[in-house]
Chains A and B, each alone.
Chain A
Amino acid sequence: MKLLWFHLMPYTDLPDDFREKHSSVWVDVDPTLFDPAKANGMYNDFLDELEFAAEVGFDAVCVNEHHSNGYGLMPSPNLIAATLARRTRDAAICVMGNSLALYNPPTRVAEEFAMLDVISGGRLIAGFPVGTPMDTCYAYGINPSQLRERYHEAHDLVVRAWAAEQAFTFHGRYNQLRYVNPWPKPVQRPHPPIWIPGGASIETWDWCGERDYVYSYLSYFGYKQGIATMRGFWDAMKRLGKEPNPFHAAFLQFVGVAETREEALELYAEPALYFYERCLHVDSRWSAPPGYASEASLRARMKSQVALAAERASEGAAKKSRTTFEDIVRRGYVIIGSPDEVAEQLREVAVDLNVGQLMLLMQYGNMTKDLAFHNTELFAKKVAPQLRGLFENEWENRWWPRPLPLAARATARELRSAQAPRREPKASETSPGGARA
């Protein structure tokens, strides 16, 4: 079982009345809310958190790409990954990822990912998301009717560019390049492991199966809502004759660990509510540009929407007030509890969804650095050891980076002598605190 520490980098200072006063956290998010001086602190805290996660032994640190987004301050995840390549030694670096259709020409992705793979000595996981409608069609103006064609063509170009042993001419529908010859090439040959973040698009299942890429379901709504999607993926794998290797799938889960469940309820309520109430306040007008979803996905969704609407209606009838943290926990969006309780729940999630690559969101909303460190450290010390061995004996993880041997790998000067055990966090870094002020 692999444990990956995922950061969204949310802006932590959206006002209390954000939902009431503002229409959306995304696309037309109010630019006057962004304070660069505060963001200076946020970025540096977030980088500390990612580096700390690597130090305490998470298998990977993950970053992702969003545009014009108040809960995702990484329009360029590659910049963050570049600093992580220098400031970490053992952890894999998972860029989840670069939205291929947004790069012109897409060989830029081949170049930058290769740079990251070379600098890190072969620790890169290359994520290729299509990207959300907000990021791609609205913030970046990509034609929704062409997005997936552009994505697939860019994918073919990047993978071919990595593998090529001589310069070649690419004559695609959207990209024409006389000379494709990126320098550098990735350490991992023919290319780093490719992971595909998927949402509700049913074609992605088959594509991941046919190409042997990891299917990563990045939902903010936890394992209870994720079951149907992951079953869809595994059904597709069965149909394609693929073995049910749990490392073929990744799943994202919010987690909050404390000494006791009561303490967890107290500690994680505010950052979770901040995330679900403010960060996910996205205007529905951005959600469905025509053509973004294929007609097959649309048909599947419209059929399932009947069931979903009925479910929502019954929930709505039961509760008209605002979301509470108890709701969030009950629905499984965030898994909280003592280390043993969290370990037990995550083991269940991993087994039920058959997922061997577990991505964990341990900083969310306006969570302070202190609390993020506390969460991360408790997890690393008391939860991770209970999960590590899962699936490892039965299945081979063919989708994990294959770095250069440590002895042959260059690292940053201060990490070179760091063969010693990993640094223990200072007490001041791990005391639980409330939400970021």
Chain B
Amino acid sequence: MIQGLYAAASGMIAIEDQQSIIANNIANASTPGFKRQNCVEEGFYSVFSEKMRSAASFGQSTSPGGGVRIVGSYADWREGTLATTDDPFSIALTGPGFLTVQTDNGDRYTRGGRLQIDPEGHLATADGKKVMGAGSAPITVTGNNFQVDEDGNVYSDGANVGRMQLMEFDDPRLLTRDGDGLYATGDSGPQAVEATETSVHGGMLELSNVQLPYEMAQMISGIRAYGAYQKVINTSDESIGRLIDQVAMPA
């Protein structure tokens, strides 16, 4: 009974985290290159029932669970819709690759979006982080008529001024999110390899892959589960109350 109380509370906490992830997806419904997140929930057992479960005599245990918790959040890497813009500095990537950008904390990876030329003439993201070219050097663009081709070559006034460094990862699930549309490899992160299956499209933008109806449905099922957990707590509370009031009532 008491265990049910804690299990339901853990459920409410897990749903709160889940709703936060959905809220972040919805808030980024118009962020170019954003990849929605899903979360993985897992039931867990108290240490005690875990021990009982592992005892051979119990076999498949039906002992009550300890509750539920979020054990993972993962990106949904599906490609967002490509939209044409009339801005040549909009870049969309198709395929699993990323652009490499330079930050104060080392190289980071992004799925593109709107680029610009910084005051020194380097190709940069909308918030001024330099886009790396081959050999980890920034790309300098001085002329007009900015264009990119499918392989990531950058042209200015028809002359090739560099090639964007496109990277793919052996296991993109291990990438961590850094905010500002950036992904980091971290300490135990995936290996970055030169992209082979990625192409670049200038004058296009990869829209966020968030689909509002799906997020809404997730959110509704979340709040209903939250309500159900609340009922469990109320019921447990009531039962305990009755136990104390009636069964344990002194004569």
Is this pair of chains taken from one and the same complex? no
